[in-house]
Each structure stands twice: as C-alpha cells, then as structure tokens.
Amino acid sequence: MNEKIEIKKKKAAAAEMPIHTIREGAVAASIWRRMSPAGYEYFDFSLCRSWKSLSSGGTGNSRNFFSRNQVELTKVVEEACRWIAAHELEQESNREERNAA
C-alpha cells in the first residue's frame, strides 16, 4: 500500500514541475505540460519575477511586475511562445507518424 502512495506522490510532484524555464534578468517564464479533462495535451506558461530585499537580504518570487520589467517580459513571452509553437509542431508530427504506421 505504501508503494502506491509513494508512486502517486512522485507523479504529482513531477506534474508540478515546469518542463522548461526561460529567464531574462529577474523575469522568468515557466512552461508547463497540461492535460485537459478530455485527454488533450497542451502547453502553457506562467510568469514570475524574482526579487531580493535590500534591507533584509531575503529573496522571493512575485507574479507582479513593474514598468521597468517591460523589456524582460517581452523577451520571455516571445521566447516562451516560440518554444511552445515548436514543440506543438513536433507533437503533431509525431502523432502523424504514429497514425501513418
């Protein structure tokens, strides 16, 4: 019984990890592989900004951005979209090859 629980925990942890991360300065785009309830696999991305407190030295991440993050945001969004588009084409090609066989 414990083995089944451990396997489920490992699968859940793996599912919660991004499959690719693109970083530009303090801004990062994490790309995720998702599965719809109907079984369709797709990719999407989330954005975050890392920060460091000048007073305490503490670090963290935020989903909020400043206007000064515009250049980095633009770069990571464009690169994330390119990465996803390329991998969607690859997935479609693999599906076509499997269907042809």
Helix, strand, coil percentages (3-state) for the chain, rounded to 5, are: 50, 30, 25
SS3 68: helix
**Distances in Å between the alpha carbon of 29 and those of 1, 22, 86, 99?**
38, 5, 16, 33
C-alpha 94/C-alpha 100 separation (Å) is 10
pTM higher than 0.85 for the full model?
no
Q: Do 73 and 65 form a contact (C-beta atoms < 8 A)?
A: yes
C-alpha 51/C-alpha 26 separation (Å) is 7
Whether the per-residue pLDDT at 88 is higher than 60: the answer is yes
What pLDDT digit, counting tens, does each position of 39-79 carry?
989 999 999 999 999 999 999 999 999 999 999 999 999 99
